[in-house]
A and B are shown apart, each in its own frame.
Chain A
Amino acid sequence: MDSGIVRMSAADLAAGIAAGDLSAAEVTEAHLGRIEAVEDRVHSFLHVSAEQARRAAQAVDAQRAAGEPLGPLAGVPLALKDVFTTMDMPTTCGSAILDGWRPPYDATITRRLREAGVVLLGKTNMDEFAMGSSTENSAFGPSRNPWDLARVPGGSSGGSAAAVAGFEAPLGVGTDTGGSIRQPAAVCGLVGGKPTYGATSRYGLVAFASSLDTPGPLARTVLDAALLHEVMAGHDPRDSTSVDSPVPPVVAAARQADISGLTVGIVPELSGEGYQPGVLARFAEAVELLESLGAKLMEVSCPHFTYGLAAYYLIAPSECSSNLARFDAMRFGLRCGDDGTRSAEEVMSLTRESGFGAEVKRRIMLGTYALSSGYYDAYYGKAQQVRTLITRDFQAAFEQVDVLVSPTTPTTAFPIGERVDDPMAMYLADLCTIPANLSGNPALSVPCGLSPDDGLPVGLQIMAPVLADDRLYRVAAALEAALDRRRGYPLLDDAKGLA
């Protein structure tokens, strides 16, 4: 079933449900039908919770029938990355070590979505513990890109991106540690936002790298992403790093879509050699388009961005080596070798040996090494210094410009299998997105057309000052509107992988 419903935006669905033109139940059925039809090809989900989704939809319909006020996304289905805890669904993080684990508590993001009346369709595939850029590190097999099923949907939030790009859900939630929302958004032709670090709660988000992990929205339109951002964001006393300040007016900014008078900075360090020519071409056109919409352009050097990738691959593995220590077979998840003859240590070792995939082990070892006595200063310590310098680069840049832009990724979606044996090539997918994670700045990827060399989507990354998330949506919405006008139809109509 490929009804018109699944092609509708979240904003239109919510408006239709609120007006009584659509029921939440039929909206949910339409999406469950679409999942049924395409899931064996796209493999976005690790778990589909059809019954719970139907109940949640019925609750929204009942609420409306009773005349109770509905939230801005009430009744809209959503694909939730399997890294958030959910009491009524398994939570695996794409890892065999958590296979079958059912958390006894909901993540704050999960709870906020439920309270807003959002209908959770299920949990989406991801690179194991969010480590990867393709979903190929999932213990449960890769997801596929709806533009070309032989290609990756990006990662680590590739399942959520594939679900949204494949019309299985109008909205997806991902997490972004080094680009894990923006990169899949870019290669799937979606809008994906990484809010300011701390603007969205990490409570119940199974940690990869605590100082970098940021939950954020994935959607097919800028307005939809903003609506979801607004539902997700807000202070959470359960997360000590949560920002206690008002949520920036992202929805208003998305509706404003006017950038006249805004100064846009172009970062020369995030461009040039190693970038796919088609990506650079579309990026350059988009920048020209921004200028034609009234923005002032300026080149702003951020010299330390060059060291971002190296610093990231010390900090993130260091934190992950500690965060993932709790997967020890003692209290939850997989347990191997507990036959009554082995010690607790042996059971821990066997479980971790068998339960973690190669990339996770690689990063645990990297991080363990980087934190070791005698190496700490040279690796972790130095990486933290780089982080400070990158933060200063951002601060200096934002004294001159309102936002910075760059390509989101150096290339379009790459073929499944192409980079699995080449970690460095895989890591380069996050080259442009990592600086904003290291500094905590908000950033967003918005489609800027298809690459002329392969016909695949290209993303433009917008970066803004801390807590000025609304600027991302303002610029993205202006660009989106201009491109849609020029094209005359939605970009995703060109995605033929599931046709």
Chain B
Amino acid sequence: MTGTVSAASGPSAAVEKGAAVTGLVPFGDAVSRYDPVIGLETHVELGTATKMFCGCPAVFGGDPNTHVCPVCLGLPGSLPVANRVAIEYTIRIGLALNCQIASWCRFARKNYFYPDMPKNFQISQYDEPLCVDGWLDVTIDDPGAEGGSRAIRVGIERVHLEEDTGKSLHVGGTTGRIHGADYSLVDYNRAGIPLVEIVTKPVDGTGELAPAAARAYVTELRDLLRSLEVSDVRMEEGSLRCDVNTSLSPRGSGVWGTRTETKNVNSLRSVERAVRHEIERQAAVLDSGERVVLQTRHFHEDTGTTTAGRGKEEAQDYRYFPEPDLLPIAPSSQWVDAIRAGLPELPAARRARLMGEWAVSAREFMDIRNAGAVDAVAATVAAGASAAEARKWWLNELVRRANEAGADVADLPISPAAVARVAELVKAGTLSDKLARQVIDGVLAGEGTPDEVVAARGLAVVSDEGALLTAVDAAIAANPDVAEKVRGGKIAAAGALVGAVMKATRGQADATRVRELILDRLRA
């Protein structure tokens, strides 16, 4: 213990170093006095057909221990053979992140014992990663900034290739961890799936936007990886996993503090919450004169808090050494050039293009993006709608419904083509906006395509003038005194007649047209 614990900040008897302080400093207060420095380590399971070093299928799930062989089970005598597609995917990621691609590098063994690691070493990369020294530009919402957003460039330290471990299920006990469990089950289906680790350089200077910056980086990275078609990047299935490093530097001191590494951060929202919590917690530790302990912490989705894992100060020595069972990776410049030439349009370029094509401001585009509707709007435009129509229906109507349903807008059971068809029907005057919303209800309820819903529910606008005139005449005849008032110049009174006509047509008439017809009739 290096400091005294103030009465206000926690118990006086410290149980363990740094653990004595349990309070939090309110976020605003914390960032007014400390500058957060963040760093992210992201693990991405590659979507190759087979595993990193054997021919087993690299797929999520499956009955336990059905996608295994002597190699990925680490049986005595088995040997790894590197998956060329995984190396290509890693280079693709490195190029998209503006990295240098090593012309020669090696795999290394990372040695430690854990039951879900078949060989008790992981084939990874150590001091010779495949890709180094790149960057990713990220836009953060910043209400205080001009245009409502701020751009930062996140440095990429390295991108390297390794193999995933198996999965342990700890049965019994209370913690769900290996300690205290009655017994553990291990599923090696995941063992050996190619895993890319992307490590950022430390990101400082984001101040109170640090949690948002962390989230924005992971979001941008996820979109990038998805566009590269190297992974399905599903955080909930663990194919994209984040460790978040956080440290605090007393404002203006320029001296970086000790960092913590928060594991198990498996949603975009959790990334933001984890950073925020660590800032609040570390500020309390520092305020009390304690020091932050270099350690691994676990994030808890339910409470939004972190708790200490094993201390890194007694960290294991991984005894890295070059993997003698594999040859060095030496991608030729021709191969790298071919991979570069095959890169798809990257999200940032695509966004710039779409902003131009849709004629929207950065702020408006940010709204579409934050709503998770960029792909949906683009697909709706591709299906024939105008950008304005597509934005209108997705942002005004479908985002609201997604929020009500607690779902992602992209996961709503309505296709961009269906939305484009609704927009087309409105434009043609077949549907009013009000009717269009009912059509969308029907599509979301599984009643079929927009045209099928229109037909089944009888929702088309009544535009037959003869039928409308009959209804108008009936309304005038039924309300002679109202008609008299209108004839006498009280135009406003026509509203009652319009209402009567709309009622008679079950709302399927165009109210504006009905009003015109009534006024024509009474003026004559």
Q: Footprint of B on A, CB under 8 Å? A: 84-85, 91, 93, 98, 101, 103-105, 107, 202-207, 209-211, 237-241, 318-319, 321-322, 325-328, 330-332, 340, 343-345, 348, 368, 371-373, 376, 380
Q: A328 touches which one: B80, B113, B317, B327 (CB < 8 A)? A: B113
User: A237 CA to B327 CA in the complex, in Å?
Assistant: 13
Asked if A325 and B113 sit within 8 Å, CB to CB, the answer is yes
Chain A residues contacting B3 (CB-CB under 8 Å) are none
Asked if B120 and A344 sit within 8 Å, CB to CB, the answer is no
Chain B residues contacting A372 (CB-CB under 8 Å) are 317, 319
Asked if A91 and B76 sit within 8 Å, CB to CB, the answer is yes
Contacts A104-B70, A328-B113, A372-B319 given; indicate if A204 touches B78 (C-beta within 8 A). yes
User: A14 CA to B496 CA in the complex, in Å?
Assistant: 112
A-B pairs with beta carbons under 8 Å apart, 6 shown: A237-B81, A340-B183, A368-B319, A371-B111, A372-B319, A376-B319
Chain B residues contacting A209 (CB-CB under 8 Å) are 324
Please list the 10 inter-chain residue pairs (A to B) with the smallest Cβ-Cβ separation, ordered nearest first: A325-B120, A371-B319, A210-B324, A211-B324, A206-B76, A204-B77, A85-B77, A206-B77, A326-B119, A326-B74
Chain B residues contacting A330 (CB-CB under 8 Å) are 115, 186
Q: A371 touches which one: B77, B78, B81, B321 (CB < 8 A)? A: B321
Chain A residues contacting B75 (CB-CB under 8 Å) are 85, 103-105, 326, 331-332
Chain A residues contacting B119 (CB-CB under 8 Å) are 325-326
- Shortest Cβ distance from B325 into A: residue: A210
B79 within 8 A of A: yes
Interface residues of B, dominant DSSP: loop
Asked if B79 and A203 sit within 8 Å, CB to CB, the answer is yes
Q: How many residues of B contact A (CB 8 A)?
A: 32
- Shortest Cβ distance from A369 into B: residue: B319
B326 within 8 A of A: yes
B179 within 8 A of A: yes
Chain B residues contacting A376 (CB-CB under 8 Å) are 319, 321
B82 within 8 A of A: yes
Asked if B74 and A348 sit within 8 Å, CB to CB, the answer is no
Query: Chain B's nearest CB lies how many Å from the CB of A16?
Result: 34
User: A325 CA to B110 CA in the complex, in Å?
Assistant: 11
- Shortest Cβ distance from B53 into A: residue: A240
B107-122 with Cβ < 8 A to chain A: 109, 111, 113, 115, 118-121
Chain B residues contacting A84 (CB-CB under 8 Å) are 77
Asked if A239 and B76 sit within 8 Å, CB to CB, the answer is no
Query: Chain B's nearest CB lies how many Å from the CB of A374?
Result: 9
User: A380 CA to B322 CA in the complex, in Å?
Assistant: 11
User: A147 CA to B451 CA in the complex, in Å?
Assistant: 96
Chain A residues contacting B121 (CB-CB under 8 Å) are 322, 325
Asked if B319 and A240 sit within 8 Å, CB to CB, the answer is no
Query: Chain B's nearest CB lies how many Å from the CB of A321?
Result: 8
Chain A residues contacting B77 (CB-CB under 8 Å) are 84-85, 91, 103, 105, 107, 203-207
Asked if A326 and B184 sit within 8 Å, CB to CB, the answer is no
B178 within 8 A of A: yes
Asked if B81 and A240 sit within 8 Å, CB to CB, the answer is yes
B65-104 with Cβ < 8 A to chain A: 70, 73-82
Q: Max chain A CB contacts within 10 Å: which of B82, B115, B178?
A: B115
- Shortest Cβ distance from B319 into A: residue: A371
Query: Chain B's nearest CB lies how many Å from the CB of A328?
Result: 6
- Shortest Cβ distance from A333 into B: residue: B76
Q: B76 touches which one: A326, A348, A371 (CB < 8 A)? A: A326
Contacts A85-B77, A331-B118 given; indicate if A373 touches B317 (C-beta within 8 A). yes
Q: Max chain A CB contacts within 10 Å: which of B74, B80, B121, B319?
A: B319
- Shortest Cβ distance from A331 into B: residue: B73
Query: Chain A's nearest CB lies how many Å from the CB of B254?
Result: 29
Asked if B113 and A345 sit within 8 Å, CB to CB, the answer is yes
Indicate with 1 or 0, residue by residue over B108-138, a CB within 8 angstroms of chain A CB atoms: 0101010100111100000000000000000
Asked if B76 and A103 sit within 8 Å, CB to CB, the answer is yes
Indicate with 1 or 0, residue by residue over B48-77, a CB within 8 angstroms of chain A CB atoms: 000000000000000000000010011111
User: A321 CA to B119 CA in the complex, in Å?
Assistant: 12
Chain A residues contacting B178 (CB-CB under 8 Å) are 343-344
User: A327 CA to B320 CA in the complex, in Å?
Assistant: 19
User: A98 CA to B146 CA in the complex, in Å?
Assistant: 69
Chain B residues contacting A241 (CB-CB under 8 Å) are 324-327
- Shortest Cβ distance from A318 into B: residue: B321
User: A204 CA to B70 CA in the complex, in Å?
Assistant: 9
User: A327 CA to B186 CA in the complex, in Å?
Assistant: 16
Contacts A104-B75, A107-B77, A345-B113 given; indicate if A326 touches B118 (C-beta within 8 A). yes
Query: Chain A's nearest CB lies how many Å from the CB of B118?
Result: 7
Query: Chain A's nearest CB lies how many Å from the CB of B334?
Result: 21
Contacts A344-B115, A348-B113, A371-B319 given; indicate if A240 touches B79 (C-beta within 8 A). yes
Asked if A325 and B325 sit within 8 Å, CB to CB, the answer is no
Asked if A240 and B327 sit within 8 Å, CB to CB, the answer is yes
Chain B residues contacting A107 (CB-CB under 8 Å) are 77
Q: B321 touches which one: A322, A328, A345 (CB < 8 A)? A: A322
- Shortest Cβ distance from B70 into A: residue: A105
User: A494 CA to B206 CA in the complex, in Å?
Assistant: 85
Chain A residues contacting B118 (CB-CB under 8 Å) are 326, 331
Q: B82 touches which one: A98, A240, A345, A348 (CB < 8 A)? A: A240
Asked if A202 and B70 sit within 8 Å, CB to CB, the answer is no
B350-382 with Cβ < 8 A to chain A: none
Known: A104-B70, A209-B324, A332-B76. 14 other contacts (CB 8 A): A84-B77, A85-B76, A91-B76, A93-B76, A98-B76, A204-B77, A205-B77, A238-B79, A240-B81, A241-B327, A322-B121, A348-B113, A368-B319, A376-B319
Chain A residues contacting B324 (CB-CB under 8 Å) are 209-211, 241, 319
Chain A residues contacting B184 (CB-CB under 8 Å) are 344
User: A262 CA to B111 CA in the complex, in Å?
Assistant: 48
Asked if B82 and A326 sit within 8 Å, CB to CB, the answer is no
User: A325 CA to B109 CA in the complex, in Å?
Assistant: 12
User: A204 CA to B75 CA in the complex, in Å?
Assistant: 9
Chain B residues contacting A237 (CB-CB under 8 Å) are 81
User: A206 CA to B179 CA in the complex, in Å?
Assistant: 32
Chain B residues contacting A204 (CB-CB under 8 Å) are 77-78
Chain A residues contacting B76 (CB-CB under 8 Å) are 85, 91, 93, 98, 101, 103, 206-207, 326-327, 332
User: A371 CA to B324 CA in the complex, in Å?
Assistant: 14
Q: Max chain A CB contacts within 10 Å: which of B76, B79, B121, B319?
A: B76
Chain A residues contacting B183 (CB-CB under 8 Å) are 340
- Shortest Cβ distance from B80 into A: residue: A240
Chain A residues contacting B73 (CB-CB under 8 Å) are 331
Chain A residues contacting B79 (CB-CB under 8 Å) are 202-203, 238-240
- Shortest Cβ distance from A110 into B: residue: B77
